[in-house]
Amino acid sequence: MIRTADVSTLSIPAEPIMIETGDPGALQTVVALFAALNGEGIRYCHWKSNLRLERGLRGATDLDILVDPADAMRFHNLLEDFGVRRMLAPPGKRYPSIADYLGCDGATGVLFHLHVHYQLVLGEQFVKNYRLPLARYFLNSARPSMGVMVPSPELELAVLSLRALLKYRDRDAIKDILLIRSPGIPAPIQDEIQWLAAQTTTARVYEAAADALGVPAADVIVAFLLQMRAAPRNGRELLRLRRAARSTLAPYRRLRRSRALARYLGETVRRRNRLRLGPPRKMTLPGRGVSVGLLGADGAGKTTVAAELTTWLGRMVEVRGYYQGSKQPSAASRGLYLAFRAFRRAHRDWSAHFGAGNMIARLLAGARRLFLSGHYLSVGIDRYRRHRAGLRAVDRGEVVIYDRFPLIAPLDGPVIRQEVGGRGTEELSRVEESLYRRFQPPDVFLVLAVDPEISLRRKPDHDREAIEAKARLLKRLIEDPELGPVAGHKVVIDAGRPLAIVLEDARRSVWRILLDAESTETPSPKKR
């Protein structure tokens, strides 16, 4: 290790580099939020990654905020005043004394993520096995930068060094020893170390670390900084420093090594599952999630809006999108439809040669109706399966977007009685209608209202009468609560306007829906 007397000789500039303020790209809601935190006297600081603070203010990355536990409730209430929503991290990223919040900038619709700490919990990926008693040191040293309170560079650099060592893996050491691929200490971390080192001196880092964590921890930190300056890819030395860091920080360990390893391995295996099975991988709503059903006539832009909402919200939140139209049939539905087409062709050919009134023609016609009815019923079963999957997702706290939602014909509802009819289909039509009655309406309908003339311009190959019929029916469903579940649970958006404006309204509407969703959790700075 390095001796205390040696730290002042390190060639790191003594004069700190100040961070520029007044970022014009910062989200207005985020800027106003931090201004309110400062004005209310809530003790907090953005405790890490301040090199990328500007990106956080723009919503490009999360904001890591350390809050005094005594101010936890005031902090939570202030976030609610700004329309910031308490969220739940995925199971593999839930740690003690850490809470997640999600906000939406009113001017741009950009989402931002607040990663709120009431204690400094850090360590290996998926585990965060160390709880360091450094909160008061960080908060006492906080100073303003870009309108945000940030800790002293000495403390931030000291903790960054420990974080880098604790996350250093055996396979990272092998990469460094063999000089293959990317460095074991990631380049962004090395950049951050250099940036922080330019704002202080190593002597100050040593003094701050020794005061907060003791001399052994300070020795490890300074030795690591020297190593990063001299030979940042010396895998053997970095492994030795990692062992020293683990030993020094052992009193602050919250899990036994065996339990921590089991958690790490379990989460690693789960995340390699490409089928999206098991728990959510992104943030969810505490308690029950929400479901949104998109409605609209042909040409209203349902699929476009659904895709945009799924992409926009899905960057941070677990979102499931389900198409409930008829253009994605299962193998059974496709097979029944192919059989229907074959019998339709056979009936047409037979009737052309031998007449339509004979027994064979009637049998072919009956088979045609039967297979078409079976196809429609199978489509309904496909929709119901997707609907049940959506209900399960909502129970897990996820957001579900239904592109279309089955209501009544011709709005993706039961059609056998209207479209097929005839003898032999009565029982199938009753089964189909019973199936559609089992659909539970979503929490809210997002209705894309558009004039039939606009629909025809967007869909010139569609039938005018069909488009007008759908528009009339949708209007009645919206206005008459006795015709269906739409009237009391809807947000109507004028979809005749330019697409950018429609998408903006849709995002704002969905965000309001998320804010109104009930939460079963309250913030707690207590240890779990």
Residue 141 belongs to a domain? no
Contact between 89 and 102 under an 8 Å Cβ cutoff? The reply is no
pLDDT in tens, 317-359: 999 999 998 777 889 999 999 999 999 999 999 888 888 888 8
Question: What region, left, alpha or beta, does residue 201 occupy, with left being phi > 0 and alpha being psi -120 to 50 degrees?
Answer: beta
Report pLDDT for 485: 64
Structure tokens given for 101: 């919040």
How would residue 11 be classed by pLDDT, with cut points 50, 70 and 90? very low
Per-residue 3-state assignment (H helix, E strand, C coil) for 5-63: HHHHHCCCCCCCCCCCCCCCCCCHHHHHHHHHHHHHCCCEEECCCHHHHHHHHCCCCCE
Q: So what's the pLDDT on residue 250?
A: 92
List the structure tokens of 485: 């579940």
Confidence (pLDDT) at 299: 84
Confidence at 409, pLDDT banded by 50, 70, 90: low
pLDDT of residue 393: 95
Query: What's the mean pLDDT when you consider all of the chain?
Result: 86
CATH number of the domain residue 409 falls in: 3.40.50.300
Residue 48 resides in a domain:
no
Taking 50 as the threshold, does the pLDDT of residue 501 lie above it?
yes
Q: Report pLDDT digits (tens) over 256-304.
A: 776 766 666 666 666 666 555 566 789 999 989 999 999 888 888 899 9
Residue 43 located in a structural domain: no
pTM of the model: 0.85
Domain count of the chain? 1
How does DSSP classify residue 139?
Answer: H
Q: What is the pLDDT of residue 425?
A: 80
100 lies in some domain: no
Are the CB atoms for 520 and 86 separated by under 8 Å? no
Domain containing 371: what range?
Answer: 290-496
Q: Has residue 7 been placed in a domain?
A: no
Each residue of 438-476: b (16+ CB within 10 Å) or e?
ebebbbbbbbbbbebebbbebeeeeeeeebebbbebbee
pLDDT bin (cut points 50, 70, 90) of residue 25 is confident
Torsion sign (Cα): 26, 88, 491, 495: positive
Which H or E run contains 279? none
pLDDT at 14: 34
Q: How confident is the model at residue 19 (pLDDT cuts 50, 70, 90)?
A: very low
Dump pLDDT digits (tens) for 43-100. Answer: 999 999 999 999 999 999 999 999 999 999 999 999 999 999 999 998 878 888 999 9
In-domain check, residue 257 = no
Domain presence at residue 278? no
Q: Is residue 336 part of a domain?
A: yes
pLDDT of residue 20: 42
